[in-house]
Chains A and B, each alone.
Chain A
């Protein structure tokens, strides 16, 4: 492992272009994570078409680095504006934003820097040790039925996060699945749902849909706040926490690393679940439960350690099984596909250099959070003073070009803006945007593997349940689903 890691490191730092891409990813991820209204997903979606001009290793590495630093960057908007940069930063806002209101934003941001770095580095080390053995095991034990079962489980879990009710969670996932059926079917190549539009025969391109649902809908949400007069500028302070203050929370950090890593492995919503579980465990173990939600530093520490601990773990299902664990890892699948590669266990044999460059980059990206995070964060905090009315047209222009450039079709720009309007309206109605995107990505993988699986078992669905891994995953998916339906009829939590 150490030899491979050193080889990955030398490949990463031996080429000036790769170094430049790494530095760009580190700073870009932090910056986009920290700008309210956009997120690491916006940057990743804008960059996606341009990765075609990079080598596969550079493209995937760039996204892995953005994932690590963007997850941290999203904490800044959560702390300063009460706008989580990504769903996994949501619990950070519970205590981070009250700290900002108390004039302690520097302490919260400082804790987020340190804990994101610790969680991320620990996760990267475990990922390096675990992914390859898991991939080797997957080659022997995982076939189309198991992948379909894992997709089902992932969608069941994804449906339970981000939407206001389980029904809306499932509807979000199903909207994504339905959009994924547009275009040619994966078995016979028959055109489906092109509604007479010739360009739709190739399906809804992933990049414009992602740009629309994430970047454009975010702009519309901010526009609504501007129009309604609810947009709030943050109070910024620069006093970081002392070493002693952080040392007092060492057990919270250790607990959150474990929680984050194990939750992160789940395809679908790993990092989000990790952050909420990390926060929930912090509350459960605390002697001062009432202080959470009112500006308790441990709330920020637990959430940020756990969500960054999930970044390395989320790479395990992607690289070992070819299944994305979240929206950004889903975009990584697109990067692989743009280079005619398929993520999954065989990548370890076909492109081992790529894997170890990515692993090394994730390790160093997490270290970068620690080393340059404190310095860079101060710059980012100053950049937050740029009024949003100047950022919005820039982001929309970048998104327009990003949508157009992948296939050279104006239709894709139209699709992006339709997805933006749809995303904005669905967010207002309590639907889950990550759920839609995961449905869109996992839909094609799910259908293809279901079809291959059924052909393999001669259309005997019972065979699915005679395969232990497959049976366990399908059962787990149904249990998740039924548990959520049961909870759906428990008394409502937040009457509106």
Chain B
């Protein structure tokens, strides 16, 4: 096994699977192009082939040297501080940080940004370790006002309003308020 760890094998397996999926899916669009002999599949297949070679090279490197950085690499200074995830609460916090934005994005279509934004802002503050309720409420209000002021009042940016009641109604009310505000000047 050399210095190979399970993590190296899993990493290689993930990349080889990605390469296999992309190679397999390339048959879905394997059509000739009249003006170009190599067609639409040649370029992605070459990329996939080189990715397989690089993955195997990386696996061989890991076999010989483990996770060590290669000598003389430029720009490899910020080796991320290895956080200890053995404590389940740290891991749960990190998973929550990674997936909260994703849930927010998923809610944008049904709920809209105007309603979901304050909850998202407060949740991120809490996940980043802020526990003072007053600070969370004040800063959420400040960021929400900045967001509305800049993107709605100044830029009139078209943002997702949601498509379910009562969230859509809330967005419509915000937009109505903005129109009335714009009419003032």
Are A and B interaction partners?
A: yes
Alpha-carbon separation in the docked complex, A160 to B73 (Å): 7
Once the chains bind, are B78 and A447 in contact (CB under 8 Å)? no
Known: A171-B51, A221-B80, A389-B130. A400 touches B105 (CB 8 A): yes
Residues in A whose Cβ lies below 8 Å from that of B120: 393, 396-397
Once the chains bind, are B84 and A451 in contact (CB under 8 Å)? no
Once the chains bind, are B97 and A397 in contact (CB under 8 Å)? no
Main secondary structure of the interface of B (DSSP, over half): helix
Once the chains bind, are B74 and A161 in contact (CB under 8 Å)? yes
**Shortest distance between the CB of B26 and any CB in chain A (Å):** 8
Residues in B whose Cβ lies below 8 Å from that of A168: 58
Which among A191, A224, A269, A396 is the interface contact of B94 at CB below 8 angstroms?
A: A224
Once the chains bind, are A490 and B71 in contact (CB under 8 Å)? yes
Once the chains bind, are B157 and A405 in contact (CB under 8 Å)? yes
Interface positions of B from 1 to 51, Cβ below 8 Å from A: 11, 15, 18, 22, 25-26, 29, 31, 33-40, 43-44, 47-48, 50-51
Interface string of A159-196 (1 = CB under 8 A from B): 01111111110110011011001000101101111010
Interface string of B61-95 (1 = CB under 8 A from A): 10011111111111111111101110000100110
Alpha-carbon separation in the docked complex, A302 to B31 (Å): 54
Residues in A whose Cβ lies below 8 Å from that of B105: 400, 410, 413-414, 416-417
Alpha-carbon separation in the docked complex, A479 to B106 (Å): 47
> What residue of chain A has the Cβ atom nearest to residue B22's Cβ?
A178
> What residue of chain B has the Cβ atom nearest to residue A181's Cβ?
B44
> What residue of chain B has the Cβ atom nearest to residue A484's Cβ?
B70
Alpha-carbon separation in the docked complex, A64 to B122 (Å): 35
Known: A171-B58, A488-B57. A165 touches B73 (CB 8 A): yes
Alpha-carbon separation in the docked complex, A272 to B77 (Å): 12
> What residue of chain B has the Cβ atom nearest to residue A395's Cβ?
B124
> What residue of chain B has the Cβ atom nearest to residue A495's Cβ?
B68
Most buried by A among B26, B57, B64, B74: B74
B146 at the interface (CB under 8 A from A): yes
Once the chains bind, are A388 and B77 in contact (CB under 8 Å)? no
A216 at the interface (CB under 8 A from B): yes
- How many chain A residues touch B (Cβ–Cβ < 8 Å)? 92
> What residue of chain B has the Cβ atom nearest to residue A180's Cβ?
B47
Once the chains bind, are B31 and A190 in contact (CB under 8 Å)? yes
B151 at the interface (CB under 8 A from A): yes
Which interface class (under 10, 10 to 19, 20 to 34, 35 or more) fits B? 35 or more
> What residue of chain A has the Cβ atom nearest to residue B98's Cβ?
A421
Residues in A whose Cβ lies below 8 Å from that of B65: 491-492
B170 at the interface (CB under 8 A from A): no
**Shortest distance between the CB of A264 and any CB in chain B (Å):** 14
> What residue of chain A has the Cβ atom nearest to residue B124's Cβ?
A393
Alpha-carbon separation in the docked complex, A221 to B94 (Å): 10
Interface string of A431-455 (1 = CB under 8 A from B): 0100000000001000100110011
Which among B50, B67, B77, B101 is the interface contact of A174 at CB below 8 angstroms?
A: B50
**Shortest distance between the CB of B41 and any CB in chain A (Å):** 8
Alpha-carbon separation in the docked complex, A163 to B26 (Å): 28
Once the chains bind, are B38 and A192 in contact (CB under 8 Å)? no
Once the chains bind, are B83 and A228 in contact (CB under 8 Å)? yes
B121 at the interface (CB under 8 A from A): yes
B174 at the interface (CB under 8 A from A): no
A38 at the interface (CB under 8 A from B): no
A273 at the interface (CB under 8 A from B): yes
Which among B25, B36, B76, B83 is the interface contact of A224 at CB below 8 angstroms?
A: B83
Known: A91-B77, A185-B40, A187-B36. A393 touches B121 (CB 8 A): yes
Residues in A whose Cβ lies below 8 Å from that of B25: 193, 195
> What residue of chain A has the Cβ atom nearest to residue B135's Cβ?
A390
Please tell me which stretch of A5-13, A236-244, A329-337, A422-430 contacts chain B, meaning at least 4 of its Cβ atoms lie within 8 angstroms of it. A422-430
Leading 3 A-B pairs by shortest Cβ distance: A228-B83, A492-B68, A188-B33
9 pairs from A and B in contact (CB 8 Å cutoff)? A84-B78, A93-B78, A175-B51, A224-B97, A226-B129, A396-B124, A487-B70, A488-B57, A493-B69
Q: Which residues of A contact B (CB under 8 A)?
A: 50, 83-84, 87, 90-91, 93-94, 160-168, 170-171, 174-175, 177-178, 181, 185, 187-188, 190-193, 195, 216, 220-221, 223-228, 230, 269, 272-273, 276, 387-390, 392-394, 396-397, 400-401, 404-405, 408, 410, 413-414, 416-418, 420-421, 424, 427-430, 432, 443, 447, 450-451, 454-455, 459, 485, 487-496
- New A-B contacts (17) at CB < 8 Å, excluding given A162-B74, A165-B70: A91-B77, A160-B73, A181-B43, A188-B31, A224-B80, A227-B97, A389-B125, A392-B124, A392-B125, A400-B101, A401-B151, A414-B105, A417-B102, A424-B98, A493-B71, A493-B73, A496-B66
